[in-house]
Structures are given as structure tokens and as C-alpha cells.
Amino acid sequence: MKKLHTTLLVISLFLLKGCEKGYLDEPKPTESVNSSVIFESQDGVEAFMSGILRESRDQFERTDAGGLYSMYFARVVKGNDLVLGYQWYLFDYENDNREPTYTRTIFSWEFPYYIINQLNQFINGVSNSSSLSDLVKEAFLGQAFALRAFYYFQLAMEFQHTYSYDLSLPAPPIYKEPAIEGKAMSSLSELYDFIIEDLTRAVQTAPVTRNNKSYIDRNVAYAILARVYQVMGNWQQASNSAAIARQGYPLNSDQYTMGFDDMNATEWIWAMPQRDDQTNYFYIAPHAFTDNINDAYGLAFWNKDFVSLFSKTDVRNSFVDLYDVGDSDQYFARSSLKFTFDFSSDIPIIRSPEMMLIEIEANARLGKESEATNMLLSLQQNRDPDAKASGNTGDALIEEILVERRKELYGEMGVEWFDAKRLRRGISRTGNHRIGTAANLLPDDKKFFLKVPQKEIDANVNIDESINSNR
């Protein structure tokens, strides 16, 4: 008899977090306490949620398989825009990191399920609490549903083709309760239905205020929902959700030149905080990898073809010839000053310009081209005082929007990979890449997703070797 997946056993043992003074300031580690104590006080429940959020940025396997930031950066390096030196994330950069025994595959499965199981413990504990009011329960559950949906969305993106490809294909198992045994694979349709179900509940009940931007509120829930609807091609709902998500988070071009390291920036909707006494050392991406000035890895550079997309007056054009190689094809020819590394550098997860661009794309695809072009120009002029309306329509307008997404979000969440996957386009390496065409991705390429980890197959009686056939 196969044993239950190691991930699920470890998660259930990792259980519950207690509280310490100051936990309201940001998520941080807590000491273990009895679960019956935690869920009978609002302070205890807040401490548990704080602990879950803290685990989202903890070190797991190794530097390139850490918290959420490592999943994001692995997607960044798979595209055409960033050029990676000889360092961590090497196999991701080569688009050759998907086999069942590889660290990327194992981590990308175990880490989301680790968080999901804690959230299921949280949901059960809050729901069954005899001390919390219904109103307090709803606010906590809204946060948990949003976060659970977010991590199931990561699993959907990492372990199968995109939504529009074939909804009947097998997708990661769905656990609605704390795991006690391994489940069979779901279908992609079932998984997205569950994600939408969780997010629909979240936007109705998540709190409208929070301790700081590392916590989940209603804006964050709507922002996650906007991303999911964007992948599903539900453009009206994507537009509606994005418009709500960005309320209260105005554009501010000045913040683009300040190192992208402070979650108090007005454009940041959701972030991962760092503090000197809770640092992830050199683990945090993108800051430790793309900052070539401060003391960090500093071995990530930028494709000259991508750099050429920016005008000289664009505030986002922070590219420099740091190593004085001129206009050569050296892979290290272009550095960026966008991200500043420090042991207290905060990490962006979702920002309002992304939501604005989702709304713009949705309007364009819904035939509201006038609204789309006006909104796009507003964003462009905020970043570049010399920006002019392009006059593009139809497919050309869509392409302009996609380029703008790359320019706005480079280095953050793997936007180029994200868009290529959801739109079933390929990614072609050009310019001064250290590893070029060998790492190209074709439309619907299987390299856009990972195989099911062998550890899961060996441990879960409901999943067998055939799951990786033809993957």
C-alpha cells in the first residue's frame, strides 16, 4: 500500500501557529500552540493567518525553490526579456526543468499544497469556532478563500495547459478539507470552477481594511479574480474585477525609480514584506538577482531587444551599460536599476497598473476600443511625458497592450510567460541571450507546464505512472 504523499503528512504536522506581540505589524513566525486555543480568540486566529502568510515567503528547498517569489521569478527567466547569467534558476532559463524528479517540479507542487492544507486547517477551525461572531468569521474566511484560490491558481498554471486548451485534461487534486489521504486528479474544468467558487465567496466577505498590504483584503481578492478571469477569457468579469481591485491605488511614476522595495508605494495592492530581523538573506527574487550594484547575486540582465522598446523619456527605462560593453551582444550588456536589493526589500505581488492593463485589454477585446486607447494613453503618459496615442486598432491594439504589460511588469510576476501561456502563443529568444533559440517555446508547448512529481505518484494510491504519459 502506498503511503500518503509526504507533502500532506508534513503539512498536517506543521499545523497551527501561535501569537507573539507585534504580530499585527506583519506576518512573522510564531510559536506552536494548541489548536483549540487558537480558534477561540480573534487574536489567535489573526496569529494563525499571520503565520500562513509568513510561510509564503519562507525558504523551502533552496534559493531557487523558496517561497512564492521563486515561483514568480522562475516564470520571469523562461521568457525573452531577461537574460540570466550562470546562477540559480539556470534550468528554468533553459526551459528544461519539468521532469518528475526535478526540484522545480517537486517544489511547485509541494509548496502550494503546503499552504493550502494550512488554509484548510484555518477554514475548519474558524468555521467551527464557538467564540467568534459570524461577522468576524466571515472576514477571516474571506481572506482564507482568496488565498486558497490563489494557490490553486498557481497549480493550474504550473501543471497543465491553459484554460482554453482542453478543460477535460487532468489537473491537480482538489482538497477542500485538511488532507488525510491522497486524492485523484481533478479536471481543469473542475479546478477552475473551484477557484472561481472560492474567489466569489472571498470578494463578498473579505475585509475592506487590513493591518498592512501583506494581508488579504477585498481589493486583493478582486485582483486575484481579475487574473483568473483574464486567463479564462471572461473579459467583462475581468474588467469589472480589475476596476474594483485598483480603487484606492493611484498611479505614481515617481515610485518606479525608488527601487521597487517598499510595499507602502501607492500602486502596490499586495506585497511580501521583508525585515532585517526576518530576512530571507539572498533568497528573495527579483531583487537579489537583478540588482547588479548592491551586494547580492547580480547575475540577471536584460535583452537588448526588450530594452529597445522603451523611449528615453520613459521612467521605466532604468537600463544601464553597467559593465561598459557598449552596444555589443554580450549577455551582460544591459543592467536594470528597477529593483534595489536590501535585506528589508519588500516584494510586489500585485500592483494597480496590472489591474489597469487587464481592464484595458478587456475593453479592447469587448469592442470598446475608444475606452481602451484612452486608458492606455493615460498609463503611458504617466510613465512617459512624451507618450502619444498610437492610433492602433484591432489586433495591433492588442499587441500594443501586451507590449505595455511587458514594459510595466518586467521582472515581477513573469508576465511574458503568463501572457504567452494564456493566449497560446510561443516565446522566441532574440537579441543577446546567453541561451538562445534552444530555449524557445512553441504555442501550446508542453514546456509551459510541469509533469506530476514522482514523489506524488509513489505516495498517492489514486495517481499512477500513466499521469505523465504524453505530458
Q: Write out the DSSP string of 127-154.
A: HT-SSS-HHHHHHHHHHHHHHHHHHHHH
Question: What pLDDT, in 10s, does the model give residues 153-193?
Answer: 999 999 999 999 999 999 999 999 998 899 999 999 999 99
Residue 259 predicted with pLDDT over 80: yes
- Do 50 and 16 contact (CB within 8 A), yes or no? no
Residue 5 predicted with pLDDT over 80: no
Residue 198 predicted with pLDDT over 60: yes
Higher pLDDT, 23 or 391: 391
SS3 readout for 349-370: EEEHHHHHHHHHHHHHHCCCHH
Domain 217-440 class? mainly alpha
Cell of 454: 514522482
Residue 243 predicted with pLDDT over 60: yes
* C-alpha to C-alpha distance for 232 and 347, rounded to whole angstroms: 27
Residue 462 predicted with pLDDT over 60: yes
- Residue 457 three-state SS: helix
The domain segmentation of the chain, as residue ranges, is: 1-55+98-206+442-471, 217-440
pLDDT at res. 428:
97
Residue 30 predicted with pLDDT over 70: no
Residue 18 predicted with pLDDT over 80: no
* C-alpha to C-alpha distance for 290 and 411, rounded to whole angstroms: 8
Residue 25 predicted with pLDDT over 80: no
pLDDT at res. 35:
61
Lowest mean pLDDT among 55-64, 251-260, 316-325, 331-340: 55-64
* C-alpha to C-alpha distance for 434 and 332, rounded to whole angstroms: 9
Residue 64 predicted with pLDDT over 70: yes
* C-alpha to C-alpha distance for 162 and 449, rounded to whole angstroms: 9
pLDDT at res. 280:
62
Residue 111 predicted with pLDDT over 60: yes
* C-alpha to C-alpha distance for 64 and 107, rounded to whole angstroms: 10
Q: Do the first three CATH levels of 1-55+98-206+442-471 and 217-440 match, i.e. the same topology?
A: yes
> Is domain 1-55+98-206+442-471 classified as CATH 1.20.120.530?
no
pLDDT at res. 62:
86
pLDDT at res. 60:
78
Residue 216 predicted with pLDDT over 70: yes
The residue type found at 271 is A
* C-alpha to C-alpha distance for 249 and 267, rounded to whole angstroms: 5
Average pLDDT (420-436) is: 96
Q: Following CA atoms 430, 434, 439, 441 in sequence, which dihedral angle do they give, to the nearest 10 degrees?
A: -30
